[in-house]
Amino acid sequence: MESRSIDIPSRTFAASLLRGEYFRLASHSKRIRTTTAVIACLVCGIAATAGAMPTQEEVFQSTKQNMDSTVDISKAVPYLLAGISLAIMWGLYNHHRKRRTTPGKLNSPGRLSREVCRRISLRPVEMKQLKLLADEQEIEYPLTLILCPSLLGKAIRTPGAQVDRAVVKEIVQRLKQSLEARPGTQE
């Protein structure tokens, strides 16, 4: 058998015990291996606890060293700048998200009225006449009279209408011409 020197109990010693290098016996029974494993665990536990317990003097010395050391702020500056930049980016993102979710008013009756008047070339005088007719018929928007010719005809035939019939007649003629000019419409 090869003779080996046994070192102070350490983890390498315990590992070698588990591998069976120090106790090579002719009969490798289960009982011997179990005993070897228990001894190895005890040696590892004792070695670990013995090295882990600092003395009171070592604790005081470590505390004094930590109190005497100066703080190096230059190592914290990049982290501080990264935190500030993340906060700014988060604020900008929230501002952008809020602005995107609240769009301006897109549908306005006044805007629609001006655009339709421009497209069909209605003069302001004609628009005033349509407003008078719409008020008499209790219609909210005067453009409804242009879009629905039956309402316009009913409004014109009303006996108490205080409108300039010549102006309304021009509007009706213009609407008829625009219907005739479009292909695919029937009269």
Residue range 178-183: mean pLDDT, rounded: 72
Q: Is residue 121 in a domain?
A: yes
Q: Is residue 26 in a domain?
A: yes
pLDDT tens-digit map of 21-33: 555 544 456 667 7
Q: Is residue 25 in a domain?
A: yes
Q: Is residue 170 in a domain?
A: yes
What's the per-residue H, E or C state across the chain? CCCCCCCCCCHHHHHHHHHCCCCCCCCCCHHHHHHHHHHHHHHHHHHHHHHHCCCHHHHHHHHHHHHHCCCCHHHCHHHHHHHHHHHHHHHHHHHHHHHHHCCCCCCCHHHHHHHHHHHCCCCHHHHHHHHHHHHHCCCCCCHHHHHCHHHHHHHHHCCCCCCCHHHHHHHHHHHHHHHHHCCCCCC
How far is C-alpha 185 from the geometric centre of its chain's CA atoms? 50
- C-alpha 136/C-alpha 165 separation (Å) is 14
Which pLDDT score is estimated for 157? Answer: 83
Structurally, the chain folds into a number of domains equal to 2
Residue 102 pLDDT more than 70?
A: no
φ and ψ at 30, to 5 degrees? -65, -35
Which band of pLDDT confidence, cut at 50, 70 and 90, is reported for residue 52?
Answer: low
For the chain, what's the residue count? 187
What is the pTM for the complete model shown?
0.40
- C-alpha 23/C-alpha 64 separation (Å) is 48
**What is the span of the domain harbouring residue 131?**
109-181
Which band of pLDDT confidence, cut at 50, 70 and 90, is reported for residue 185?
Answer: low
Q: Is residue 174 in a domain?
A: yes
pLDDT tens-digit map of 65-101: 887 777 778 888 999 999 999 999 999 998 888 776 5
pLDDT tens-digit map of 146-160: 888 888 888 888 877
Which pLDDT score is estimated for 1? Answer: 46
Q: What are the Cα distances from residue 105, in Å, to 36, 109, 141, 165, 184? A: 85, 11, 18, 36, 35
Q: Is residue 75 in a domain?
A: no
Percent of the chain whose pLDDT exceeds 90: 9
Q: What are the Cα distances from residue 127, in Å, to 44, 107, 108, 113, 141? A: 101, 20, 17, 9, 11
In the chain, the N- to C-terminal Cα span, in Å, equals: 121
Residue range 3-28: mean pLDDT, rounded: 51
Residue 110 pLDDT more than 60?
A: yes
Residue 12 pLDDT more than 90?
A: no
Q: Is residue 159 in a domain?
A: yes
Q: Is residue 113 in a domain?
A: yes
Residues 6+ apart with CB under 8 A from 51: none
